[in-house]
């Protein structure tokens, strides 16, 4: 019964949000018929509730362009986020509502499904910022600011910034708005992870202009063809992160 009720509520919720969309960005391309991975009927029903916003491959783009790419992100990372929305470490009422009754086993299955997807190539954004701002963003992402103890984003998010298995997400293929919102939320402690919260430590050292610059640069980068997260153990992290299993 509850399932049916939730689905009905969801249909109303999603269409309400669709109406409220700004239309800033088109929904990203859907796969051709027959391309979808084979999954059980019950899992298919569960993910249908998600692909309405996150796209059939998890490529993102719903909610006026704000719903993030989740396809191909590391499985542990996706699983932690579903738990974070459920347990209040991330606050986004709609996502909390989507996952609040999901048992861990379902969350794992859903995380596994999306981690195995390969979203199609995504056209990068062209943020309206100066060349100097983009250059500042590139420096922070690739070199950090050693004098102030800011590690390069690449030091944890991987050499091609597409993440590291199983717990560190890729940063390419996300929108400028989404990235800056997440960095701001980490900085203010609104988005949290298990302690120690390395993303809070990193963002605490960045000012608003730097957050804007790194978000703009990241969103302007194309997703390399067939890019996947780096393998487990391929990175030595410069700070401890509680969200990386076995490291906190
Ligand atoms: C109505 C649109 C909508 C629906 C439906 C929806 N989501 Fe989301 N989802 C979002 C938005 C918007 C965010 C970003 C929230 C934020 O800013 O924290 C998000 C965030 C996420 C994240 C975190 C992504 C990241 O990279 O950190 C995951 C994972 C996720 N959703 C999975 C799901 C799953 C699984 C379902 C189905 C059970 C689902 N979503 C249904 C809109 C939606
Ligand atoms: C010490 C390692 C480390 C460094 C350095 C680091 N990150 Fe992260 N970052 C993480 C981890 C771990 C997560 C996953 C947190 C979680 O589970 O919620 C994350 C999550 C994120 C997210 C959320 C992604 C999403 O899909 O919602 C963004 C955005 C992000 N980092 C941006 C950056 C930027 C920009 C930099 C450089 C200025 C940076 N990170 C530096 C480890 C790091």
Residue 71 is assigned to a structural domain of this protein:
yes
Ligand positioned closest to the Cα atom of 84? 2
Ligand positioned closest to the Cα atom of 183? 2
Give me the count of residues in the chain: 248
Q: How would you label 157-181 residue by residue, b for 16+ Cβ within 10 Å and e otherwise?
A: bbebbbbbbbbbbbbbbbbbbbbbb
Q: What is the largest distance, in Å, between two alpha-carbon atoms of the chain?
A: 58
Residue 179 is assigned to a structural domain of this protein:
no
Residue 191 is assigned to a structural domain of this protein:
no
Residue 58 is assigned to a structural domain of this protein:
yes
pLDDT at 55: 94
CATH classification at residue 57 = 1.10.760.10
Mean pLDDT by 10 residues, the chain (248 residues): 42 38 42 54 89 94 92 96 95 93 93 94 89 98 98 97 97 96 98 95 98 98 88 95 74
> Could you tell me which residues come within 8 angstroms of residue 182 by beta carbon, excluding any fewer than 6 positions away?
191
Residue 90 is assigned to a structural domain of this protein:
yes
pLDDT at 3: 43
Ramachandran angles phi, psi of 142, nearest 5°: -100, -25
Domain that holds residue 69: 2-12+39-115
**CA 199 to ligand 2 centroid distance, Å:** 5
Residue 170 is assigned to a structural domain of this protein:
no
Total domain count, the chain: 1
pLDDT at 26: 42
pLDDT at 34: 40
Which residue has its alpha carbon closest to ligand 1 atom 33? Answer: 50
**Candidate of 87, 88, 169 to mutate for ligand 2, largest count of ligand atoms within 8 Å of Cβ:** 169
Which residue has its alpha carbon closest to ligand 2 atom 38? Answer: 153
**CA 151 to ligand 2 centroid distance, Å:** 11
Residue 187 is assigned to a structural domain of this protein:
no
Residue 19 is assigned to a structural domain of this protein:
no
pLDDT at 246: 56
pLDDT at 70: 97
């Amino acid at each position: 019964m509850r399932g049916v009720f939730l689905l009905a509520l969801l249909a109303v919720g999603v269409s309400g949000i669709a109406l409220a969309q700004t239309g800033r960005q088109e929904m990203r391309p859907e796969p051709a018929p027959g391309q979808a991975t084979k999954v059980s009927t019950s899992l298919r029903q569960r993910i249908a509730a998600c692909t309405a916003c996150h796209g059939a491959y998890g490529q993102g783009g719903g909610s006026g362009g704000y719903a993030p790419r989740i396809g191909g992100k590391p499985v542990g990372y996706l699983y932690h986020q579903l738990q974070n929305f459920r347990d209040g470490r991330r606050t986004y009422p709609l996502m909390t509502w989507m996952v609040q009754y999901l048992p861990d086993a379902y969350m794992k299955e859903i995380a596994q499904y999306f981690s195995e997807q390969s979203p199609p190539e995504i056209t990068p954004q062209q943020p309206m910022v100066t060349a100097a701002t983009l250059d500042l963003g590139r420096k922070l992402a690739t070199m950090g600011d050693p004098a102030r103890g800011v590690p390069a984003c690449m030091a944890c998010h991987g050499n091609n910034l597409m993440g590291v298995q199983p717990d560190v997400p890729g940063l390419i293929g996300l929108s400028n708005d989404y990235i800056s919102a997440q960095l701001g939320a980490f900085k203010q402690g609104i988005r949290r992870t298990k302690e120690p919260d390395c993303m809070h430590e990193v963002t605490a050292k960045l000012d608003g202009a730097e957050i804007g610059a790194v978000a703009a640069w990241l969103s302007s980068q194309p997703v390399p063809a067939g890019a996947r997260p780096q393998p487990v153990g391929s990175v030595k992290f410069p700070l401890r992160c509680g969200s990386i299993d076995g490291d906190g």
